[in-house]
A and B are shown apart, each in its own frame.
Chain A
Amino acid sequence: QVQLQESGPGLVEPSETLSLTCVVSGYSISSGFYWTWIRQPPGKGLEWIGTIYHSGSTYYNPSLKSRVTISVDTSKNQFSLKLNSVTAADTAVYYCVRDRGSYDPWGQGTLVTVSS
Protein backbone atom coordinates (compact mmCIF):
# COMPACT_ATOMS: atom_id res chain seq x y z
CA GLN A 1 0.00 0.00 0.00
CA VAL A 2 1.50 3.28 -1.11
CA GLN A 3 1.55 6.01 1.52
CA LEU A 4 2.84 9.57 1.47
CA GLN A 5 3.65 11.73 4.46
CA GLU A 6 4.43 15.44 4.42
CA SER A 7 6.68 17.06 6.99
CA GLY A 8 8.06 20.50 7.65
CA PRO A 9 7.56 23.67 9.69
CA GLY A 10 4.00 24.71 10.33
CA LEU A 11 4.91 28.38 10.63
CA VAL A 12 7.05 30.40 8.25
CA GLU A 13 7.80 34.10 8.45
CA PRO A 14 6.98 36.41 5.55
CA SER A 15 9.75 36.68 2.92
CA GLU A 16 11.32 33.44 4.12
CA THR A 17 11.43 30.06 2.38
CA LEU A 18 8.83 27.36 2.91
CA SER A 19 10.39 23.88 2.87
CA LEU A 20 8.47 20.63 2.92
CA THR A 21 9.41 16.99 2.40
CA CYS A 22 7.23 14.09 1.33
CA VAL A 23 8.35 10.59 2.30
CA VAL A 24 6.93 7.80 0.17
CA SER A 25 6.47 4.29 1.54
CA GLY A 26 5.25 1.15 -0.17
CA TYR A 27 6.59 2.19 -3.56
CA SER A 28 9.97 3.12 -4.94
CA ILE A 29 10.01 6.57 -6.53
CA SER A 30 12.67 5.26 -8.92
CA SER A 31 10.16 2.79 -10.34
CA GLY A 32 8.18 5.47 -12.10
CA PHE A 33 5.20 7.81 -11.88
CA TYR A 34 5.34 11.50 -11.37
CA TRP A 35 5.20 13.11 -7.94
CA THR A 36 3.31 16.32 -7.29
CA TRP A 37 2.68 19.07 -4.77
CA ILE A 38 -0.78 20.62 -4.44
CA ARG A 39 -1.99 23.25 -2.01
CA GLN A 40 -5.32 24.43 -0.65
CA PRO A 41 -5.72 27.80 1.11
CA PRO A 42 -8.16 27.68 4.04
CA GLY A 43 -11.72 27.45 2.76
CA LYS A 44 -10.66 27.53 -0.88
CA GLY A 45 -10.01 25.18 -3.77
CA LEU A 46 -7.06 23.09 -4.93
CA GLU A 47 -4.04 24.52 -6.73
CA TRP A 48 -1.36 22.52 -8.54
CA ILE A 49 2.12 23.73 -7.52
CA GLY A 50 4.46 21.49 -9.44
CA THR A 51 5.53 18.00 -10.44
CA ILE A 52 8.73 15.99 -10.64
CA TYR A 53 9.68 12.73 -12.32
CA HIS A 54 12.20 10.40 -10.71
CA SER A 55 14.73 11.44 -13.33
CA GLY A 56 14.49 14.98 -12.02
CA SER A 57 12.40 16.52 -14.80
CA THR A 58 10.15 19.20 -13.34
CA TYR A 59 7.02 21.11 -14.29
CA TYR A 60 5.81 24.16 -12.38
CA ASN A 61 2.66 26.22 -12.22
CA PRO A 62 3.52 29.37 -14.20
CA SER A 63 2.01 31.53 -11.48
CA LEU A 64 4.53 30.15 -8.95
CA LYS A 65 7.42 29.17 -11.20
CA SER A 66 9.74 31.99 -10.21
CA ARG A 67 9.55 30.97 -6.53
CA VAL A 68 9.29 27.17 -6.60
CA THR A 69 11.83 24.38 -6.62
CA ILE A 70 10.90 20.70 -6.42
CA SER A 71 13.60 18.09 -6.00
CA VAL A 72 13.77 14.34 -5.53
CA ASP A 73 16.05 12.13 -3.44
CA THR A 74 15.62 8.57 -4.65
CA SER A 75 18.04 7.22 -2.04
CA LYS A 76 15.65 8.40 0.69
CA ASN A 77 12.53 7.75 -1.40
CA GLN A 78 11.31 11.28 -0.90
CA PHE A 79 10.71 14.51 -2.76
CA SER A 80 10.74 18.07 -1.54
CA LEU A 81 9.22 21.49 -2.10
CA LYS A 82 10.81 24.87 -1.61
CA LEU A 83 8.80 28.05 -2.04
CA ASN A 84 10.69 31.26 -1.45
CA SER A 85 9.66 34.82 -0.66
CA VAL A 86 6.43 33.65 0.95
CA THR A 87 3.56 35.95 1.89
CA ALA A 88 0.30 35.44 3.76
CA ALA A 89 -1.23 34.34 0.45
CA ASP A 90 0.91 31.20 0.64
CA THR A 91 -0.83 30.05 3.81
CA ALA A 92 -2.41 26.73 2.90
CA VAL A 93 -2.60 23.02 3.47
CA TYR A 94 0.11 21.47 1.32
CA TYR A 95 -0.41 17.98 -0.07
CA CYS A 96 1.98 15.62 -1.79
CA VAL A 97 0.51 13.08 -4.20
CA ARG A 98 1.48 10.31 -6.56
CA ASP A 99 0.71 11.52 -10.03
CA ARG A 100 -0.55 9.11 -12.67
CA GLY A 101 -2.34 11.94 -14.40
CA SER A 102 -5.01 11.65 -11.80
CA TYR A 103 -3.76 11.99 -8.25
CA ASP A 104 -3.73 8.99 -5.95
CA PRO A 105 -2.85 8.46 -3.21
CA TRP A 106 -2.62 11.75 -1.30
CA GLY A 107 -0.69 12.55 1.80
CA GLN A 108 -2.73 13.72 4.76
CA GLY A 109 -1.63 17.30 4.16
CA THR A 110 0.23 19.76 6.34
CA LEU A 111 -0.91 23.27 7.23
CA VAL A 112 1.69 25.94 6.68
CA THR A 113 0.92 29.38 8.06
CA VAL A 114 2.88 32.41 6.91
CA SER A 115 2.99 34.91 9.72
CA SER A 116 5.44 36.88 11.82
Chain B
Amino acid sequence: EIVLTQSPGTLSVSPGERVTLSCRASQSVRSNYLAWYQQKPGQAPRLLIYGASSRDTGIPDRFSGSGSGTDFTLTISRLESEDFAVYYCQQYGSSPYMYTFGQGTKLEIK
Protein backbone atom coordinates (compact mmCIF):
# COMPACT_ATOMS: atom_id res chain seq x y z
CA GLU B 1 0.00 0.00 0.00
CA ILE B 2 1.31 3.44 -0.95
CA VAL B 3 1.10 5.83 1.99
CA LEU B 4 0.69 9.51 1.14
CA THR B 5 1.87 12.11 3.66
CA GLN B 6 0.67 15.68 3.23
CA SER B 7 2.33 18.70 4.77
CA PRO B 8 1.68 20.91 6.49
CA GLY B 9 -1.41 19.71 8.32
CA THR B 10 -2.75 23.24 8.59
CA LEU B 11 -1.62 26.40 6.84
CA SER B 12 -2.71 29.89 7.87
CA VAL B 13 -2.46 32.30 4.97
CA SER B 14 -3.87 35.60 3.74
CA PRO B 15 -5.87 36.17 0.56
CA GLY B 16 -3.62 37.05 -2.36
CA GLU B 17 -0.72 34.96 -1.11
CA ARG B 18 0.88 32.10 -3.01
CA VAL B 19 0.81 28.72 -1.29
CA THR B 20 2.41 25.38 -1.94
CA LEU B 21 1.05 22.15 -0.50
CA SER B 22 3.14 19.00 -0.38
CA CYS B 23 2.24 15.34 -0.89
CA ARG B 24 4.95 12.73 -0.41
CA ALA B 25 4.48 9.07 -1.31
CA SER B 26 6.08 6.11 0.47
CA GLN B 27 7.01 4.66 -2.93
CA SER B 28 7.04 5.90 -6.49
CA VAL B 29 3.62 6.65 -7.96
CA ARG B 30 3.33 4.85 -11.28
CA SER B 31 2.91 7.11 -14.30
CA ASN B 32 2.45 10.07 -11.97
CA TYR B 33 -1.10 8.97 -11.34
CA LEU B 34 -1.72 11.53 -8.62
CA ALA B 35 -4.77 13.72 -8.11
CA TRP B 36 -5.65 16.67 -5.89
CA TYR B 37 -9.09 17.45 -4.47
CA GLN B 38 -10.60 20.43 -2.68
CA GLN B 39 -13.25 19.93 0.00
CA LYS B 40 -15.28 22.68 1.60
CA PRO B 41 -17.36 22.13 4.76
CA GLY B 42 -20.50 20.13 4.12
CA GLN B 43 -19.59 19.44 0.51
CA ALA B 44 -18.20 16.51 -1.44
CA PRO B 45 -14.60 16.77 -2.60
CA ARG B 46 -14.00 18.32 -6.01
CA LEU B 47 -11.33 17.11 -8.42
CA LEU B 48 -8.79 19.83 -9.17
CA ILE B 49 -5.78 18.10 -10.69
CA TYR B 50 -5.19 14.65 -12.20
CA GLY B 51 -2.11 13.06 -13.67
CA ALA B 52 -0.09 15.21 -11.27
CA SER B 53 -0.37 18.35 -13.41
CA SER B 54 -3.55 18.38 -15.54
CA ARG B 55 -6.29 20.73 -14.40
CA ASP B 56 -9.79 19.28 -14.53
CA THR B 57 -12.45 21.05 -16.56
CA GLY B 58 -13.42 24.43 -15.15
CA ILE B 59 -10.63 24.63 -12.59
CA PRO B 60 -9.08 28.13 -12.47
CA ASP B 61 -5.52 28.45 -13.72
CA ARG B 62 -4.33 29.75 -10.35
CA PHE B 63 -4.28 26.06 -9.37
CA SER B 64 -1.32 24.07 -10.64
CA GLY B 65 0.15 20.69 -9.86
CA SER B 66 3.65 19.39 -10.30
CA GLY B 67 5.99 16.63 -9.26
CA SER B 68 6.88 13.08 -10.08
CA GLY B 69 7.96 9.87 -8.45
CA THR B 70 7.37 10.36 -4.74
CA ASP B 71 7.14 14.15 -4.37
CA PHE B 72 4.20 16.20 -5.57
CA THR B 73 2.98 19.73 -4.98
CA LEU B 74 -0.19 21.74 -5.43
CA THR B 75 0.36 25.46 -5.87
CA ILE B 76 -2.29 28.16 -5.63
CA SER B 77 -0.79 31.27 -7.14
CA ARG B 78 -3.05 33.93 -5.60
CA LEU B 79 -5.38 32.78 -2.86
CA GLU B 80 -8.97 33.87 -3.13
CA SER B 81 -11.51 33.69 -0.33
CA GLU B 82 -13.23 30.64 -1.84
CA ASP B 83 -9.95 28.67 -1.79
CA PHE B 84 -9.96 28.24 1.98
CA ALA B 85 -10.74 24.55 2.32
CA VAL B 86 -9.15 21.16 2.93
CA TYR B 87 -7.00 19.69 0.15
CA TYR B 88 -6.36 16.00 -0.35
CA CYS B 89 -3.97 14.18 -2.63
CA GLN B 90 -4.77 10.70 -3.95
CA GLN B 91 -2.70 8.17 -5.87
CA TYR B 92 -4.21 5.85 -8.42
CA GLY B 93 -1.12 4.18 -9.77
CA SER B 94 -0.88 1.13 -7.59
CA SER B 95 -1.59 -2.34 -8.87
CA PRO B 96 -3.53 -4.31 -7.91
CA TYR B 97 -6.15 -1.70 -7.18
CA MET B 98 -5.41 -0.07 -3.83
CA TYR B 99 -5.83 3.65 -4.27
CA THR B 100 -5.06 5.83 -1.25
CA PHE B 101 -5.54 9.38 0.01
CA GLY B 102 -3.32 11.68 1.98
CA GLN B 103 -4.60 12.88 5.35
CA GLY B 104 -5.34 16.37 4.04
CA THR B 105 -4.04 19.93 4.43
CA LYS B 106 -6.36 22.59 5.80
CA LEU B 107 -5.97 26.10 4.44
CA GLU B 108 -7.30 28.66 6.90
CA ILE B 109 -7.54 32.42 6.81
CA LYS B 110 -4.76 34.20 8.70
Total A-B pairs, Cβ < 8 A: 50
| Stretch in contact with the other chain, from A21-29, A74-82, A84-92, A105-113 | A105-113
A102: contacting residue among B92, B103, B104, CB under 8 A: B92
Distance (whole angstroms) from the CB of B80 to the closest CB of chain A: 22
Distance (whole angstroms) from the CB of B108 to the closest CB of chain A: 15
Which residues in chain A, 20-40, are within 8 Å of chain B measured between CB atoms?
none
Q: A101-B92, A102-B35, A103-B90 are in contact. Are A48 and B44 (CB under 8 A)?
A: no
How many of chain A's residues have a CB under 8 angstroms from any CB in B?
18
Q: Enumerate chain A residues within 8 angstroms of B51, measured Cβ to Cβ.
A: 102
Separation of A46 and B100 alpha carbons in the complex (Å)? 9
Distance (whole angstroms) from the CB of B3 to the closest CB of chain A: 12
Could you jot down 25 A-B contacts, CB within 8 Å? A45-B102, A45-B104, A46-B45, A46-B90, A47-B101, A48-B98, A48-B99, A48-B100, A48-B101, A51-B97, A59-B96, A59-B97, A95-B45, A101-B35, A101-B92, A102-B47, A102-B50, A102-B56, A102-B90, A103-B37, A103-B45, A104-B50, A106-B46, A107-B44, A109-B44
